[in-house]
Amino acid sequence: MPAGPPIPTGPVTSVAEAMARMAAIDAATPARDGLACFNRMYLEVTRKVSEELGQGFYADPAFMTRLDVTFANLYFAAVAAAGTPEAAPLAWQPLLELRGAAGIEPIQFALAGMSAHINHDLPVAVVATCTELGTTPGPHAADFQKVDELLDAAEEAIRRSFESAAERTADRHLEAVANLVACWTINSARDLAWRNCLVLWGLRADAAARELFLDGLAGNTALASRLLLTAV
């Protein structure tokens, strides 16, 4: 991790603490760092989710709060291993390895981080939260989908800002990046994450099958992230 204010370690226990941890990561990381590009986006989305937790937006705010914390802790575990990417979870290794590489745009880093966190971490977090709270995924499908509304806005803002920059310059590099990242969308990733969550839930009693599934999920996620991080 680049020099800067120390980042607390260990899991967080509340959404407020998760946002504070993300703010600490932001303060400790250069703005152009690939991890920082994702972290800024994640912090903004977490703020929006937090604003809705006490506003009747979700049918089960207690479940969504716990899911948000569990989900964030998977990211913080990856951040803790950022200094030695080969020791990080496989799904996060491409972003951590390439976070300082030249020729990769901020939008690529942001979407690669979302790919790792949504495609791999989200199914794991949903199943872990259901297990902890003694429930099943089914009753929480509607709340899960409501988060799409918040993420849609975040993704659109990032793409719009990037496209505006591209329109201001006849730069074939930026055009090529735009074509590359157009293939990945948050909604598609979250739809797949929900299906993978249901598969993972169905495998919870079969440890060997569960590990095989998670290994494949991590490998596929890492491949998608590495493609998003192609320098063009």
pLDDT in tens, 103-136: 898 889 999 999 999 999 999 999 999 999 999 9
pLDDT above 70 as % of the chain: 84
Please give the model's pTM, rounded to 2 decimal places. 0.89
Residue 96 has a pLDDT of: 97
Number of Cβ within 10 Å of residue 74's Cβ equals: 20
Question: CA-CA distance, 132 to 6, in Å (whole number)?
Answer: 31
pLDDT in tens, 138-151: 999 999 988 877 77
pLDDT in tens, 45-98: 898 888 888 788 899 999 999 999 999 999 999 999 998 999 999 999 999 999
The H or E element containing residue 176 is helix 172-181
* Mean predicted lDDT score pLDDT of the chain: 88
- Tell whether the model's pLDDT for residue 170 goes beyond 50: no
In this structure, are residues 45 and 18 in contact, taking their beta carbons and an 8 Å threshold?
no
